[in-house]
Chain A
Amino acid sequence: MKKIAAIIWKDTALRFSTPAEWLFFLILPIIFTFLLAGGAPSGEDDPRIRLTVVDLAGTPLSGELLKALEASPSIQPVTLTLAEAEKRFDQRQISAMLIIPASFDLEQLKAGTAALDYRQQPNNLNAQAAERAVQTAIQRTGSAVQIALNAVQQAESVQPFASPAERQAYYDQSFALAQETIDQAPKRVEISQAEDKNPVLYDPAVNASAGQLLTWVFIPLLGLSGVFAYERQQGTLRRLLTTPTEKATFLLATILGQVLTALVQISLLITFGALALKINWGRDLAGLAVIMVAFTFAASAMGTALGTFIKSESQASGLSIMLGMVMSLLGGCWYPLELFPEFVRRLVQVLPTTWAMQGILALALRGQGLVDILPQAGVLMGFAALFFIIGIWRFRYE
C-alpha cells in the first residue's frame, strides 16, 4: 500500500512539475466549456439565436412583424442599419439577416406583393433555425390580412358591395376582428421533455459542457501511454526490476494515480459548470459519480493498452490527442449523435465516449438515476476490463 501511494505521489509530482500541465488540466477545458456552452459574456442573457433585421420600411406593418419576431422563442431580432448589417454579414460575423424593404406596407400586403429578403450564410444551422422562426412570424403577421381578405370574398359571394368605400369598411372591420381573435387564440401545442415524475429543464449548455468534460479528461488518460513510454525511455522501469516491486503493484499504482487525478479534474470541472454556467448536472450525484468513475477506468485502460504499442513519449502525445479528439467527435461529445448518419451511429457504439456521453445525458437531461445508467456504466467497465487485460498482457519493462 505504501509503495502504491509512493508511486502515485511521484507520478503526480512529475506531472505537475511544469506549469504547462495546468493548461490541459484546467485552463483549456474551462475556456472550451465556456465558449461552447455559451458562457462568454456578450452583455446580454438572452439565449436565443440573434437575427439581424434591417427595417427600411418603418411602417406599422414592419412594426407588427418585428413584434412577432420578438415574440419568437428561438430568435432574438437585433436591428441594424443596412450598411452595418451588410458589412457584418460579408465578414461572416452574423449567420443571417432579414431585410424589410421600404415598400413593405399594408397596401402591398393586400395586393399580395409584399416580399422580404432573407440572406444566410451557406450550410449554417443557426440561419436555418432562424428561417423557420421568420416563416412563423410572417404567417402570424400576414394572417390577419389574409383572414380579412377572405371575409370580404365571402361577403362578396353572398352580395356584391355597393361601393369601394363599403368594401373597404367591411375589410377594416374584418381585419380588426381578426387581429383581436388571433390575439386571444389559445395555445394548442404543449411541450414536455423527459419523465414527468422527475422533470429536468432542457439546457443546451449541458450537451456542450458534458462533451468538453469528457474530451478533456479522455485525452490525458490516453496520454497515460506516455508515462510508460517516458519511464521506458529513461530506463527507470528497468531499475524497478532490481527493487522488490511487483509488476502488478507498479501498474496498479500508475493507473490509479492517473484515475485519481482525472477524478479531481472532473470534480473541478463539474463544480465550475454548476457555479459559473449554472449547469444542472442532474439530481443523482451517485449516478454521475458511477458513470464518471467507469469512464475514467475505461479511458485509463485504453491508455495502458496504447502504452504497450507506442515507442516514444512524443508518439504517445500525438496519438492521444488525435485519438482523443476523433473519438470525442464521433462519440457525440462535440455535436449531438443525431446529426450523424445511421450507420455511423451504430459504428460508434464501440467507443467509450459514446456510452459515457449517453450516461451523462440520461442523468442531466432525462432526469434518470443511478439504476437507469447502470447499462452504460457496465459497458464502460467492460471496456476497462478488455483494455486492462490487453495492456497487462503486453506490458514489458523494456
Chain B
Amino acid sequence: MKKIILIGFKDVLLVFRDPAALVMMLLAPFLLTVGMGFVTGRFSGSTSSGLSEIPVVIVNLDGGELGNSLVSVFQSAELDELLVPTVLSDTLSARQLVDEDKAAAAVIVPAGFTASIIPAAGQDPGSEVMKINLYLNPGRPTSAAVVQSIVDEFVGRVELGRVGGEVAILQLMKNGLIGQDSAALRAAGELAGKDLASGENSQPLITLNKTSQGKGTVDFDILAYMAPGMALMFLMYTVSYGGRSILVERSLGTLPRLLVSPTSTTQVLGGKVLGIYLTGLAQIAILIAASTTLFQVRWGDPLGTIVLVLAAVFGATGWGMLLTAVSRTSGQAANVGTTVMLIFGILGGSFIDTSNLPVWLQWVSKITPNAWGLDGFSTLATGGSLADLGAPVLALLVMGAALFGAAVLLFNRSSIVER
C-alpha cells in the first residue's frame, strides 16, 4: 500500500510541476468560466441572461395616440434596465444605426398608424393596413427578439382593444341597444376598446403559474452550473494526461526499471491510478475553492458536493485509464485525450444546453462523466442534497469501475505494464 501511495504522490507532484499541464488543468477552465459568467450575466447582476441595456431606435412618424403610447412603453421605468431607447425622426438614420450594429432594432411607426385603427370623428379608417416596421439586427438575434416581443405585446393589446370595441358596438347595434347615431357609437366603441387595451378593468383570464426546477425557494447560481461544466471538461484532459505518464515512463525506460524493483505490476498500476485520481481531485478542489472565494459561487449541499466530486473524478479516471490502454504512444494518447475532452464537453453540456439536442444524442451523452456530473451539480445548485444524487453518483461509480475493468483487460492483452 505504501508503494502505491508513493507512486501516486510522485505522479501528482510531477503534474503540478509542469506549467503546460497547469495551464490546461487550472487556467483554461477558470478563464472559460469567467467568460461564461459574462455571457450569462452572472457578473453584471442580471437575473436571466447577459442581456441588458439593449440599444433600440424608435421612429414615430405617426405622432398619434398609439404611436406616442408605443414610445412611452419603450421609455417606461419598467424597461429601464433592459433597454436604451433613442427616438429619431428619420427612418434612414435609424436603419443605418442597425446596419452599423449600433442598435439591436429600429421600430418605425408609420404615419397614419393610429388613424388606421382609431379613426378620428367623421373620418374613414380606410382599407389600407398601416404596419409597424421592425428592422432587426441579425447580429443581435436575442436582443432583436426581445424588442420584437415588446412590440408584439403592444400590438396585441391594441388589437384586443380594436376588436373589443368593434364587437361591443356591433352587438349593441344588432340588439337595438343603441341607435345609428355616430357619436354614440363612437363613444361606446372607444370606451369598450380602451378598457380592453389598457387592461385596467379586466384581469387576465388565464394565469401562467411559473416554477423553476429545484427544491424550495433556492436562489439558483448559474456559475454553480458553468464552473463545474468547465472543470469537468478539463478533468478529462487531466485524466488522459495522467494516463499518458504510463506510456511516457515506458518509452523513457523508467517503467521497466520500476518493475525490476520489488514492486508488482498491480502496485505500479494501482499507484498510477491513484496518482490520476488524486490529481483530478486536486484540480476540481482548487477550481471549486477559487470560484467560491473569488465569485462566491453557491454550490449547494457541501456533503453532496464532496461525494459528487469523488464520484465524478472516479468516472473520469476510468476513461483516462481506458484511453491509455488503447493508445500506443504518449502522443497518440494526448491527441485522443484532447479529442475526447472536447467531444465530452459538448455532449455533456459544458458548452450548450443539451435539452435542445435530439433525444438519441441526449442518450449518447450518458456515456460521459460530464453529463452525469453536471446533472448532479445542477441538482445541488437547485436545492437538492446528497439524498437526491443517487442516480448520478451510482452511474459515475459504475462507469469508473467498468472502464477500469476494461482498461486492465486491455493492459494485460497489450502487455504495456510488463517487465
A residues at B contact (CB < 8 Å)? 18, 20, 23-24, 28, 31-32, 35-36, 40-43, 49-50, 74, 89-95, 109-110, 112, 114-126, 128-129, 131-132, 134-136, 138-143, 145-151, 154-155, 158-159, 170, 173-174, 177-178, 181-182, 185-195, 200, 202, 204, 207, 312, 314-315, 317-319, 321-322, 325-326, 329-330, 334-342, 344, 358, 361-362, 365-366
Contact = CB atoms under 8 A, between A and B. Distances in A.
Sorted nearest first, the 7 A-B pairs with minimum C-beta distance are A42-B358, A20-B335, A339-B50, A365-B138, A122-B220, A322-B28, A142-B205
Contacts of A139: 153, 156, 160
A188 B351 CA distance: 38
B135 interface: yes
6 contacts: A119-B210, A159-B177, A177-B170, A178-B164, A187-B129, A321-B24
Nearest to A156: B177
Interface string B1-23: 00000000000000000111101
Interface string B307-346: 0000000000000000000000001101110110011001
Contact of B142 (A159, A339, A358): A339
A325 B178 CA distance: 71
A189 B129 CA distance: 10
B177 A122 contact: no
Contacts of A24: 335, 338-339
A192 B136 contact: yes
Interface stretch (B73-81, B196-204, B258-266, B397-405): B196-204
A138 B48 CA distance: 22
A173 B332 CA distance: 76
Nearest to A190: B131
B159 interface: yes
**Would you call the interface of chain A mostly helix, strand, loop, or mixed?**
helix
Interface of B: 18-21, 23-24, 27-28, 31-32, 35-36, 38-41, 43-44, 48-54, 99, 101, 104, 117, 129-143, 145, 148-149, 151-153, 155-156, 158-160, 162-164, 166-168, 170-172, 174-175, 177-178, 188, 191-192, 195-196, 202-214, 220, 222, 225, 331-332, 334-336, 338-339, 342-343, 346-347, 351-362, 375, 378, 381-382
A158 B172 contact: yes
B26 to A, nearest CB: 10
Given A146-B164, A189-B151, A338-B51, 18 more contacts: A20-B331, A28-B343, A32-B342, A95-B355, A118-B209, A122-B382, A123-B49, A139-B153, A178-B163, A182-B159, A188-B155, A190-B132, A315-B23, A334-B351, A339-B38, A339-B39, A339-B50, A341-B43
